[in-house]
Amino acid sequence: MDFSIIVGFLFLAFPAYFTPGPNNLMLMTSTAKFGFVKTIPHGIGIALGFPFLVFIIGLGLGEIFSLYPILKVILKYLAAAYFLYMAYNLLGLKIGDVVGSERPMKLYEAAIFQWINPKAWAMGVSFVGVFVVSGEGRFTSLIILTLGVFAMSPLSTIFWMLFGKQLQLLLKRTGNERFLGIIMALLMILAVILFLL
CA distance 160 to 164: 6
Q: Where in the chain does DSSP place strands (E)? A: none
- On the question of pLDDT at 191 being above 80, the answer is no
In this prediction, residue 99 has a pLDDT band, given cuts at 50, 70 and 90, of low
Give the residue from 15, 160, 21, 13 showing the smallest Cα distance to 80: 21
Provide the pLDDT confidence category of residue 1 given band limits of 50, 70 and 90: low
Q: Is the pLDDT of residue 100 over 60?
A: no
Tally the domains of the chain.
Answer: 1
Q: Quick one: which of 27, 26, 84, 16 has its CA closest to 54?
A: 16
pTM flag (> 0.85)? no
In the chain the first and final C-alpha atoms are separated, in Å, by: 34
User: Which of 31, 32, 20 has the alpha carbon at shortest distance from 187?
Assistant: 20
The answer to whether 117 and 104 have CB atoms below 8 angstroms apart is: no
Residue with the bigger pLDDT between 20 and 164: it is 164
CA distance 68 to 175: 50
DSSP class of residue 58? I
Give the number of other CB atoms < 10 A from CB of residue 126.
Answer: 16
Residue 39 has a CB neighbour count (10 Å cut-off) of 26
Domain containing 83: what range?
3-196
Give the amino acid at 54: V
pLDDT reported for residue 96: 59
pLDDT tens per residue, range 122-164:
889 889 888 888 888 889 999 999 999 999 999 999 999 999 9
Task: Give, as one character, the DSSP assignment of residue 20.
Answer: -
Q: Please state at what angle helix 180-196 crosses helix 22-34, rounded to 10 degrees.
A: 170
Instruction: For residue range 50-76, list pLDDT tens digits in order.
Output: 999 999 999 987 677 778 778 777 877
